[in-house]
């Protein structure tokens, strides 16, 4: 069993870092023997906001994140959520508030850590 931790820092839209992180995390999570953990920090906490509306034909980070959450674990930096006024009841299903000690644990347990 291989554990891969993704740490995402960038906003869901405006550049493609979060998009590419979620693409890779989703692909990896669908493989046997892979454990995927995703920790959203800074502006990336916006990826987990429910009710996202994007133009037709444009990727939807909320949907992509939901797929990862169903196959792995997803946590958001609680301090970053608070700084951006993002409440727990605004999050998509399968994700939750996280902490620095949790991120430290996930980092220590991971075989690989990828930062976007």
Q: What total of structural domains would you count in the chain?
A: 1
Q: What is the pLDDT of residue 30?
A: 95
How many CB atoms lie under 10 A from the CB of residue 82?
12
Name every residue whose Cβ is closer than 8 Å to that of residue 24 and which is 6 or more positions away in sequence.
Answer: 6, 114
The boundaries of the domain holding residue 76 are 2-115
- Phi, psi (rounded to 5 degrees) for 84: -105, 5
The string of pLDDT tens digits covering residues 75-100 is 999 999 999 999 999 999 999 999 99
The CATH number of whichever domain residue 51 belongs to comes to 3.40.1260.10
Lowest mean pLDDT among 1-5, 31-35, 52-56: 52-56
**For 34-69, what is each residue's pLDDT tens digit?**
999 999 999 999 999 999 998 888 899 999 999 999
Rg (CA), the chain: 13
């Amino acid at each position: 069993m291989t554990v891969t931790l993704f740490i995402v820092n960038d906003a869901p839209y405006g550049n493609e870092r979060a998009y590419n992180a979620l693409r890779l995390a989703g692909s990896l999570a669908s493989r046997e023997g892979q454990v995927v953990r995703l920790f959203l920090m800074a502006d990336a906490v916006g990826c987990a906001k429910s009710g996202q509306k994007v133009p037709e034909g444009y990727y939807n980070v909320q949907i992509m994140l939901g797929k990862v959450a169903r196959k792995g674990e997803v946590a958001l930096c609680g301090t970053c959520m608070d700084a951006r006024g993002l409440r727990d009841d605004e999050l998509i299903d399968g994700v939750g508030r996280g902490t620095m000690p949790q991120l430290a644990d996930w980092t220590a347990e991971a075989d690989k850590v990828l930062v976007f």
